[in-house]
């Protein structure tokens, strides 16, 4: 039997998603909890691996098991053995040919950035921060240039193992809500550090260091050294994973993204 799970987690204290010999990853924690419910080893496959410090509100995983358990056991039972910063949101039996990674047709990432002179103590680890004023309209003009199919080598980590740097960006949106700037990206797949590198370059444009057209120059150059430094992992969320309706999975919902009370409202 193949089971799909929707999970969310605060990645602040984890060494990323991917299982490591020394432990301390989200995959380690989830597999340990599921194995206690199954009464034997369970291995999970995720829709998108996240780096250390990166969060998720819409991660999807699947695993195979020969044991029969009610869906509540895979949700509430597993949660009882997980750290408080990881939660199973739903469980759903799926067809044997479903694959959390390869059956997905898109991933959605959101970056939350507090834009004010002083850093926040309350939102430390859950948002990025930039002290100089940023122009969201300039950043959106640059983000528009990311839409469509491009070679994103200028925004690719040196250790990225993706077979091709060419990706198709379906959504690139930047908006301000009071002191908060929200970046949304949707693509079929992303390169390692791609979103954080894009945010870094958009911030340079928002500050006025470069014109929005600089983004087109970076895409054409295909040189990582020309783009801005990688931005903090703290504000990055895997917000949703998209699947065709025939798989019967619950619809993606970003309602669980941090409300950040007091940061919205009128522009400062």
**Which residues make beta-bridge pairs with 113?**
128, 181
How far apart are the C-alpha atoms of 114 and 126, rounded to whole Å? Answer: 10
**Confidence (pLDDT) at 267:** 39
Domains 2-103 and 106-239 share a fold: yes
* N residues, the chain: 268
Task: List the structure tokens of 263.
Answer: 């940061």
Check residues 7 and 251 and name the one with the higher pLDDT.
7
- What phi, psi does 198 have (nearest 5°)? -65, -45
Task: Indicate if 51 belongs to the active site.
Answer: yes
d(CA 21, CA 176): 41
What's the pLDDT score for residue 251? Answer: 78
Global pTM value:
0.93
The torsion defined by the Cα of 57, 63, 67 and 68, in degrees rounded to 10, comes to 40
Look up residue 29 and give its two tokens.
């924690």
Which residue in the list 8, 10, 28, 51 is annotated as catalytic? 51
Average pLDDT on 109-127 reads 92
Q: How many CB atoms neighbour CB 263 within 10 A?
A: 21
Predicted pLDDT at 111 = 97
- Average pLDDT of the chain is 93
Q: Does domain 2-103 have CATH number 3.30.70.580?
A: yes
The angle formed by the CA atoms of residues 190, 191 and 197, to the nearest 5 degrees, is: 100
Domain-wise residue ranges, the chain: 2-103, 106-239
Kindly tell me if the per-residue pLDDT of 226 is higher than 80.
Answer: yes
Geometric angle at alpha carbon 80, from 76 and 81, rounded to 5°:
125
- CATH class of the domain comprising 106-239: alpha beta
Q: What are phi and psi of 165, to 5 degrees?
A: -85, 0
């Amino acid at each position: 039997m193949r089971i799909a799970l929707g999970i969310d987690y605060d990645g602040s204290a984890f060494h990323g998603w991917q299982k490591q010999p020394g432990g301390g990853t989200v995959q380690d924690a989830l597999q340990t909890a599921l194995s206690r419910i199954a009464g034997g080893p369970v291995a999970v496959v995720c829709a998108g691996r996240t780096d250390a410090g990166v969060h998720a509100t819409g991660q999807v995983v699947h695993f195979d098991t020969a044991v029969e358990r009610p869906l509540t056991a895979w949700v509430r039972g597993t949660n009882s053995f997980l750290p408080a910063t990881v939660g199973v949101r739903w469980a759903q039996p799926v067809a044997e040919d479903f694959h959390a990674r390869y059956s997905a047709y898109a991933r959605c990432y959101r970056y939350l950035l507090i834009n004010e002179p002083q850093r926040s103590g309350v939102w430390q680890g859950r948002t990025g921060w930039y002290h100089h004023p940023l122009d969201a309209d300039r950043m959106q003009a640059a983000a528009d240039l990311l839409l469509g199919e491009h070679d994103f080598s200028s925004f690719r980590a040196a250790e990225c193992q993706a077979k091709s740097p060419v990706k198709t960006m379906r959504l690139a949106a930047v908006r301000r809500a009071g002191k908060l700037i929200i970046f949304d990206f949707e693509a079929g797949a992303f390169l390692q550090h791609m979103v954080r590198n894009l945010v870094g370059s958009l911030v340079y444009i928002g500050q006025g260091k470069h014109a929005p057209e600089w983004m087109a120059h970076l895409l054409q150059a295909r040189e990582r050294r020309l783009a801005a430094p990688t931005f903090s992992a703290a504000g990055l969320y895997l917000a949703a994973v998209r699947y065709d309706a025939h798989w019967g999975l619950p619809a993606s919902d970003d309602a669980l993204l941090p409300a950040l009370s007091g940061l919205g409202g009128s522009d400062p």
